[in-house]
Amino acid sequence: MKMKLLIILLIFILSFTARAQLISFGQQDSVYSNVLNEKRPLWIYSPTPIDDTAYFQRAEYPVLYVLDGDSPFATLQTMIQALAVNEGNTVFPQMIIVGIQNTPGNRTRNMAEKPGDLNAFFEKELFPYIEKKYPTAPYRILVGHSLGGLYTTNTLLHHKELFNAYIASDPSFWFNNAALLKETPSLLAQDFSEKNLFIAMAHTMNPAVDTSMVHSDTSLGGRHTAAILDMTYLLRRAGNHLRWDYKYYPDDDHHSVPFIAMYDGLRFIFPHHRFPTYLYFDDSAADSLKNLVISHYKLLSKEMGYNVRPPEWFLNQMGYVNLQAKRYAKSANCFQLNIDYYPNSYNVYDSMGDYYKEVNDLPNAILSFKKALSLRGKAEIRTKLEETILAANKGQETGMPGSSH
């Protein structure tokens, strides 16, 4: 029964769930800010994948905070679902998305004129609210466009501890006589180890002007472009361990660039997240898949600065598929890895019990089912335990006890 359920769930992940989730666009929420003296509306998307079922421990997710949240929210959600869920994709991790909407007349004030108030709102009010209500991992990303891109970069330079990664889409560094640019050289003297910044620049110059001529262009579009180029020049000269990248989009204007900027920015932030799938179901040595899982998630943990574990359902899925194919050593490795990563989950011991029962190692199957039952008293596990004990007793009576495969 359990094996059939997992196979059905595998098909569900790769097909129906992927399509069904595309029509879900999060939920509206709000938080009252004493710092801003206003109620700030939010759009929030929190994944509800296979992890959050009765079988698996609840997962924790990085949080992507996006400014001007009502505009790019649906785009980001669909992008994350497409590349972190659909068709088994693991290009990005699944993420919680928080879209921070503006209130009338406050966009310029919060993002450019008094960014300290918005910083305090994030640190003292929004972060505690989100982290109490949702299953968050200790990894935050900030995304901003135009003045939001200015604020995003300002936050990195002045309060780098607030976020782990920053995406600034066509940022308005020219604003307020390029005040941020003027203080950037001294701010870049800090150590930005483990921080990530991606800057996107659209084509806002006069069509007759290119980047080599832009500093002589006094139009707003020219000044906008020149200021971004000046920031990249300063970043290139700084030896502060900041991991950063910049990309110019000659075929996009100020309003079309956010979509591709968010995509490229997330690809930059998560360069190694995709799990190599070529050893899932082949006949390679059992330890090759085990070592691949361990090394891959060690790399992600190092890059993200916290303990990143493979999803419990993912290892469970690989264990059952290999068990069905009678690749017993590979199946056992997957189930044992799940025990190592999730020692407090009843499911990992239940699955290992299924493995031991399949290979006729009934004593160890009994021990595994007992452990699972001690963590969660499910009738299904109790029934399997009783059936396995009965089978073991019958084997002893006939002189054919269960033995290891």
> What is the predicted pLDDT for the residue at 4?
45
Which of the four pLDDT bands, split at 50, 70 and 90, describes residue 22?
Answer: very low
- pTM as predicted: 0.87
Average pLDDT rounded to a whole number, residues 272-278: 82
> What is the predicted pLDDT for the residue at 239?
83
Which of the four pLDDT bands, split at 50, 70 and 90, describes residue 8?
Answer: very low
Contact of 193 with 251, CB cutoff 8 Å: no
The string of DSSP letters for 268-299 reads HH-TT-SPP-TTSSS-S-HHHHHHHHHHHHHH
Which of the four pLDDT bands, split at 50, 70 and 90, describes residue 59?
Answer: confident
Query: What is the DSSP-derived secondary structure letter of residue 113?
Result: I
> What is the predicted pLDDT for the residue at 3?
52
Q: Residue 244, by phi and psi: left (phi above 0), alpha (psi -120 to 50) or beta?
A: beta
Torsion over CA: 278, 14, 5, 47 (sign): positive
CA distance 4 to 83: 27
Tell me the C-alpha to C-alpha distance, in Å, between residue 18 and each of 77, 80, 189, 313.
13, 11, 45, 16
Contact of 367 with 382, CB cutoff 8 Å: no
Task: Report the length, in residues, of the chain.
Answer: 405
Structural domains present in the chain = 2-269 (3.40.50.1820), 288-397 (1.25.40.10)
Average pLDDT rounded to a whole number, residues 263-286: 83
Contact of 72 with 99, CB cutoff 8 Å: yes
Is the per-residue pLDDT at 382 higher than 90? yes
**What integer best gives the mean pLDDT of the chain?**
88
> What is the predicted pLDDT for the residue at 118?
93
Average pLDDT rounded to a whole number, residues 335-349: 96
